[in-house]
Amino acid sequence: MVGLPDNAIKESNLRIAAALQNIGYRLPGKIITINMAPADLRKEGSAYDLTLAIGILAASEQLKTDVLSEYIVMVEIALDGSLRPIKGALPIAIQALRRF
Cα 15 to Cα 25, 46, 64, 82, 90, distances in angstroms: 13, 10, 22, 11, 24
Judge whether 83 and 75 are in contact, CB under 8 Å.
yes
**pTM of the prediction?**
0.80
Domain-embedded: residue 2: no
- 31 falls within a domain: yes
The answer to whether position 1 is within a domain reads no
31-42 pLDDT, tens per residue?
Answer: 888 888 887 877
pLDDT tens digit sequence for 58-80? 989 998 888 888 888 888 899 99
What is the domain range of residue 16?
A: 7-99
Please give the full DSSP string across 38-89, using - where no structure is assigned.
-TTS-B-SSTTHHHHHHHHHHHTTSS--TTGGG-----EE-TTS-EE--TTH
Handedness of CA 31, 15, 78, 34 (dihedral sign): negative
Number of independent structural domains in the chain: 1
